[in-house]
Amino acid sequence: MKFMLIMRSTEAAKKAYEKADFEQIINQMGAYNESMMKAGVLLAGDGLADDMSQNFVVDFSAETPIVTDGPYGETHELFSGFWIIEVSSKEEAAEWASRAPLGEGSKLEVRRVTDMSDFQDFADNEFLKKEEGWREEQSSK
Amino acid sequence: MTDVRRTVDAVWRIESARVVATLATMTGDVGLAEDLAQEAVVDALAQWPESGVPQNPGAWLTAVAKRKAIDGWRRRERLDDRYRALAHDLEARWGGATGEPAAVDSWQPIDDDVLRLVFTACHPVLSREAQVALTLKVIGGLTTEELARLFLVPVATVQQRIVRAKKTLAAAKVPFEVPDPSEWRARLGPVLGVVYLIFTEGYAATSGDRWMRTELANEALRIGRVLEGLLPREPEVHALVALMELQASRFAARVRADGTPVLLADQDRSRWDRAQIVRGRAALARADSSARALGRGRGNYALQAAIAECHAVAPSVDDTDWAQIVLLYEALGRIAPNPLVELNRAVAVSMATGPASALLVVDGLVAQGALAGSHLLPSVRGELLSRLGRFTEARRELEAAAALTANERERDVLRAKAAGLDVGTPR
């Protein structure tokens, strides 16, 4: 089972981080990542830049999608990074998630990543096949 | 299953290797270490519902198990001076016999301990069956029940295998250590072999449902990735992970919904897991660069992974780099001569340069008397003959192959092919 651990930080967390020693944060994150690598569960992971000049939102509520600079949701909660892990149970995902070196105001949202078995009844669906083809294109870039 | 049981199982999954490795380093005995760790798990099941899961559950399990070890020696102290010395020595080295939180916080498992555990679980004195069971249990952190379910045997059988494995290790006085540099390569082979066997058990299992098979293959991959972390300079460890990732990427396309296997040529390539292919290729690149660093060429797993990579990146059977695959099989045949590799080479040759030259390779195998009794040789030979228009001979080979295979579905396919040949009139 694959799970995505989505890091969310609030304004409070951002403030707390401003005061923290950045090198120490890097070291703690590094140790956490290393522990998941050593356990053979980490498949992917990255941080998301908080330089807002490079980030944007696409709003689909109008007839034509509108690209704007924000806002990023009413709660001002931002995704700041993610990990994808492969584990044997929801409980194991929870155990790993709770070991993340995150502080006050931070939250991890954990979601199971769907796989082909979720769509087994529709294995011959043309659109699903196309979607797989699209993924293929994406990953070969 | 209760929630706490699931939580403890999850913690055990993550911590088992390091807990057992630490205890084995302390006691010098993997069997005892595993027993102690299991007793600690029983304590966790009883105590965690009340106390909650501790901050550092691995340290908690280790501390409790260690206390049990020292208590055990204490009790025997009266009987034997040797145990008295051991208990005192351990107390001096490992702190008090109480396993207080202070000791818990300072618990720092060492990778070398886990590496010793890997080599011990795959020690040559053990049977393959025992190596597999012990590796999945102590390195993979699977429970006896999970092992029983995955291998479709009763729980008692798994327990027996584990007990026998521990006894064998004890009787052979296998030391808890990594092998000598002189033995290193000879001992690494069985370790990788066990992991790959677990993978292929999942990949090619003849029984059990598809979901279970994927699970077993995933366990092997996970242990493979653990080994990569422990042995980052060993090219073949990376190569094994590469091979498993690349083969596993085809899982979704390998069987139809009704369970019939789909041959590589007929697989819907859009259903291959691209992310997994990317990971596999990255692992192969790591294998190649660590081999270069050691001044070595590609090993057995690296060559197999490279062949799998050729398929993984090809848009179709026809657009596959068969010439490259032929070269890779040749290299594989040089470092590990094997009639099955030679037969695979023949198939690749037929794709690269046509059936006539491939038939020469296959006839070479026939002349050696290789693969006698296997349906594979006549089935490939029959296929090549039919492509050459030699239908009478082709039919004879395909019928021979059908008679030899134990797999019913395969037999039907071979018979249908044989019956479909228009004997006498060349195509």
End-to-end CA distance of chain A: 26
Contacts of B182 (CB under 8 A, 6+ apart): none
- Asked if A92 lies within 8 A of B14 by C-beta distance, the reply is yes
Contacts of B278 in chain A (CB under 8 A): 139
Instruction: Tell me the residues of chain A between 20 and 59 that have a Cβ less than 8 Å away from chain B.
Output: 37-41, 43-44
Count CA within 13 A, CB hemisphere, residue B143: 15
Residue of B287, B325, B298 whose CA lies nearest to B309 = B325
- Determine the pLDDT at residue B97: 42
Give me the count of residues in chain A. 141
Q: Can you tell me which residue has the tokens 């290790």?
A: B169
Residue of A77, A58, A80 whose CA lies nearest to A69 = A58
- DSSP lists the bridge partners of residue A106 as A9
- Determine the pLDDT at residue B102: 42
Looking at chain B, which residue has its C-alpha nearest residue A131? B270
Instruction: Tell me the residues of chain A between 80 and 139 that have a Cβ less than 8 Å away from chain B.
Output: 86-89, 91-92, 94-96, 116-117, 120, 123, 129, 132-133, 135-136, 138-139
Is the CB of residue B204 less than 8 Å from the CB of residue B247? no
Cα A54 to Cα A38: distance, rounded to the nearest angstrom:
34
Which residue in A39, A86, A136 is closest to B218 by CB distance? A86
Tokens read off for B168? 């064998």
pLDDT digits (tens, 9 = 90+) for A11-45: 777 787 778 888 888 899 999 999 999 899 999 99
- Asked if B14 lies within 8 A of A136 by C-beta distance, the reply is no
Cα B252 to Cα B237: distance, rounded to the nearest angstrom:
25
Rounded (to 5) percent helix, strand, coil in chain B: 75, 0, 25
- Give me the residue spans of the domains in chain B: 3-109, 110-210, 232-311, 353-427
Q: Can you tell me which residue has the tokens 């049981």?
A: B5
Q: How many helices (H) and strands (E) does chain B have?
A: 21, 0
Residue of A40, A90, A113 whose CA lies nearest to B14 = A40
Cα A7 to Cα A32: distance, rounded to the nearest angstrom:
14
pLDDT digits (tens, 9 = 90+) for A68-87: 887 666 555 678 899 999 99
Which residue in A37, A91, A133 is closest to B9 by CB distance? A91
**CATH fold for the domain made of A2-140:** Alpha-Beta Plaits (3.30.70)
Cα A53 to Cα A34: distance, rounded to the nearest angstrom:
31
- Determine the pLDDT at residue B157: 94
Report residue B319 CA to chain centroid gap. 31
Contacts of B44 in chain A (CB under 8 A): none
Q: If residue A83 lies in a helix (H) or strand (E), which one and from where to where?
A: strand A78-86
Tokens read off for B236? 């073949």
Residue of A6, A7, A13 whose CA lies nearest to A103 = A13
Cα B379 to Cα B360: distance, rounded to the nearest angstrom:
15
For every one of its 427 residues, what pLDDT tens digit does chain B have, with 9 covering 90 and above?
Answer: 568 888 899 999 999 999 999 999 988 889 999 999 999 999 999 999 999 889 889 999 999 999 998 888 777 666 666 666 666 666 666 554 444 444 455 566 678 899 999 999 999 999 999 999 999 999 999 999 988 888 888 999 999 999 999 999 999 999 898 888 888 888 999 999 999 999 987 665 544 455 557 888 899 999 999 999 999 999 999 999 999 999 999 888 887 766 667 778 888 898 898 989 999 999 999 999 999 999 999 999 999 999 999 999 999 999 999 999 999 999 999 998 899 999 999 999 999 999 999 999 999 999 999 888 889 999 999 999 999 999 999 999 999 999 998 777 778 888 999 998 876 555 4
- Determine the pLDDT at residue B101: 42
Among B110, B147, B218, most A C-beta atoms within 10 A, so best to mutate, is: B218
Q: Can you tell me which residue has the tokens 């002349």?
A: B367
| B9–A contact, CB cutoff 8 A | yes
Domain B110-210 has CATH 1.10.10.10: yes
Q: How close is the nearest chain B Cα to the Cα of A3, in Å?
A: 14
- Asked if A95 lies within 8 A of B271 by C-beta distance, the reply is no
- Asked if B9 lies within 8 A of A136 by C-beta distance, the reply is no
DSSP-assigned letters across all residues of B95-130: --TT--HHHHHT----HHHHHHHHHHHT-TTS-HHH
- Determine the pLDDT at residue A62: 83
Is the CB of residue A7 less than 8 Å from the CB of residue A100? yes
- Determine the pLDDT at residue B281: 97
Tokens read off for B91? 């107390």
Q: How close is the nearest chain A Cα to the Cα of B168, in Å?
A: 28
Cα B407 to Cα B414: distance, rounded to the nearest angstrom:
11
- Asked if B274 lies within 8 A of A87 by C-beta distance, the reply is no
